[in-house]
Structure 1
Amino acid sequence: MTTLSIDDAAWASPWRRRRVGEKVLLSLALLLTALLLPPWPGCVAVALVSVFAIVGPARIRPSLLATVLVAPLTFLLLGTLPVAVHFGGDGWGIGPLRFTAEGLATAAGLFAHGIAGTLAMMVLATTTPMIDLLTWLRGLRLPDVLLEIASLTYRLLFLLLATTLAVRSAQRARLGDEASPRRRWAALAATTGTIILRTWDRAARLQHGLEGRGYEESLTTLAPVRHRSWPFVALSAAGVSGVWLLSLAAA
């Protein structure tokens, strides 16, 4: 459901009308800034600029951004936990679990770099539909085979997700909230098999449709004409430069 929400938000965002290259440039500049600058104040500034761009000019709902960040935050917390905690030795803690100031500082730095980089990539993900990104990559002369594999994989993921939501909705309408745990597990097993079979059938029909259209090498689409926005480029450069100046001033 989150994937569908991100795609819907990207299609509805005012930044969808901007050139993909400009958004890629902004997102990559923020990402490199988050990787190269220290956690304070560099990564914090990158995170603030990214959040402002997403919920401000791009008009993405803050609740959607918070929902999208749940999975990356969980991954970052699990990844930094072994850095912050160790067994035995010096430090303070509970039982064999020990903490040190150096370990906590390192873990906090890694977490700051990770969340800042994630927010920088969210600037692109929440404002650019996948079809626009693939069309832009085709303009860079990437091999059609790679683009078609990426496009079909993306469409099949949506197909799987749509089938799962439809089957899940039908299951809830049938069982309600009164089913026993045993019945729920049995329904879950049957649902899994149904989802796989229905997804396979719809994927096969997608393949037959492509063959009926005479598909051989690539499936090109018409890209809308988007003019370069120098004010957007200037504001993006000013935002990234401001983060660097702030970090250098604090050093």
Structure 2
Amino acid sequence: MRLVDRNAQTNRWRQTAALEKVVFSFGAIVLALCSASWIVQMSIIVILLTTMRLGAGIPLRDIGLAASVPVGFILAGTIAQVMTVEFASFVPRVGISAAAFAGAGFIALRSLAGVMGLLFLALTTPLTDLLRLLRRTGLSAELGDIALMMFRFVWLTLDCLEGTRRSQANRLGFVDYRRSLRSSGLLLANLLPRVLSRARRLEAGMAARGYTGELRFVVRERPAHVGRLAASAALFFGLGAAGMVLV
């Protein structure tokens, strides 16, 4: 999460309008779901990777780390699709179905293209910009504030967890199995009270700064450009039309 949030806050497209990035991301996802062409799926992945690396300036290492977990799920699901289990005299036999390779490979490629579309949005757009966009489309301020506070609560939990564990490690709390077990138990027992204490301080700080029921942030993004929105729509529409011809 830290990696995703760091890139979302520091990439070169940080000030680009969230609407433009949402249209680009969801255009790629919709095309990946609708297209039946291998070439289109691979083109979507290449376009998104190129855009994130060369356009937004996100390092390939960060993209790979952010994609490692969903790619692992996709790989596990693909392996499960191509493997077959048969029972002969109550003895299981595991084999590989050659006929399932094409279908499983295409599903994996389509899933990867969809994941890359979501990663593009997550790595280039902070949550505050997305919620501001949703508010302009009708999302109530209360729901937006709840989402932001939950997001902040996750960061508070991680911060308390890492700080306490670092303190225990500096006091040799993990030098052997018994101490590691005891330190982990103390960490879990004290985590919730510490997080709630930090949350109460956060609430007091908001009240001291005049919180009136709606969280406000400094707007850093530029207005959406109609030309860029049209270019994104034309790109994926043209790619989808080419995919229909190739199929």
Question: What is the TM-score of this pair, normalised by structure 2?
Answer: 0.88
Contact kept, 8 Å, 1:18 with 1:229, in 2: the verdict is no
Give the letter for the 2:145 counterpart: E
Aligned: 1:146 with 2:140: no
Contact kept, 8 Å, 1:49 with 1:239, in 2: the verdict is no
Cα deviation, residue 20, structure 1 = 0.6
Q: SS of the residue aligned with 2:217?
A: coil
Aligned: 1:203 with 2:199: yes
| Superposed CA RMSD | 2.4
Matches within 5 A, 1:60-209: 60-88=58-86, 96-175=93-172, 179-209=175-205
Give the aligned length.
245
Q: SS of the residue aligned with 1:59?
A: coil
Question: What is the TM-score of this pair, normalised by structure 1?
Answer: 0.87
Cα deviation, residue 43, structure 1 = 1.3
CA offset digits 1:216-237 (Å, max 9, x no partner) = 5422334346233355335434
| Pick aligned residue for 2:243 from 234, 241, 247 | 247
Cα deviation, residue 108, structure 1 = 1.6
Mapped to 1, the partners of 2:65 and 2:59 lie a distance apart of: 10
Contact kept, 8 Å, 1:44 with 1:116, in 2: the verdict is yes
Cα deviation, residue 185, structure 1 = 1.7
Q: SS of the residue aligned with 1:118?
A: helix
Q: Counterpart in 2 of 1:44? A: 42
Higher relative contact order (CA 8 A, sep 6+): 2
Cα deviation, residue 83, structure 1 = 2.2
Q: SS of the residue aligned with 1:226?
A: coil
Give the letter for the 1:100 counterpart: S
Contact kept, 8 Å, 1:39 with 1:112, in 2: the verdict is no
Cα deviation, residue 115, structure 1 = 0.9
Mapped to 2, the partners of 1:30 and 1:8 lie a distance apart of: 23
Q: SS of the residue aligned with 2:13?
A: helix
Cα deviation, residue 182, structure 1 = 2.1
Mapped to 2, the partners of 1:225 and 1:59 lie a distance apart of: 17
Mapped to 2, the partners of 1:73 and 1:29 lie a distance apart of: 21
Q: Counterpart in 2 of 1:221? A: 217
Aligned: 1:29 with 2:27: yes
Q: SS of the residue aligned with 1:56?
A: helix
Mapped to 1, the partners of 2:166 and 2:231 lie a distance apart of: 45
Structure 2: 5+ residue runs without aligned partners? Answer: none
Structure 1: 5+ residue runs without aligned partners? Answer: 90-94
Mapped to 2, the partners of 1:11 and 1:210 lie a distance apart of: 22
Cα deviation, residue 112, structure 1 = 1.1
Q: SS of the residue aligned with 1:97?
A: strand
Mapped to 2, the partners of 1:39 and 1:176 lie a distance apart of: 55
Cα deviation, residue 213, structure 1 = 4.7
Mapped to 2, the partners of 1:122 and 1:116 lie a distance apart of: 10
Give the letter for the 2:95 counterpart: R
CA offset digits 1:147-201 (Å, max 9, x no partner) = 1221111111111112222222223322287x11222122112122232221121
Cα deviation, residue 69, structure 1 = 0.8
Give the letter for the 2:67 counterpart: L
Q: Structure 1 residue runs of 4+, over 6 Å off?
A: none
Greater CA deviation, 42-51 or 229-238? 229-238
Q: What is the identity percentage for the equivalent residue pairs of Structure 1 and Structure 2?
A: 26
Cα deviation, residue 57, structure 1 = 0.6
Greater CA deviation, 209-218 or 140-149? 209-218
Contact kept, 8 Å, 1:41 with 1:246, in 2: the verdict is no
Cα deviation, residue 27, structure 1 = 0.3
Cα deviation, residue 123, structure 1 = 1.2
Cα–Cα, structure 1 residues 171 and 227, in superposed 2: closer, same or farther, change >3 Å?
same
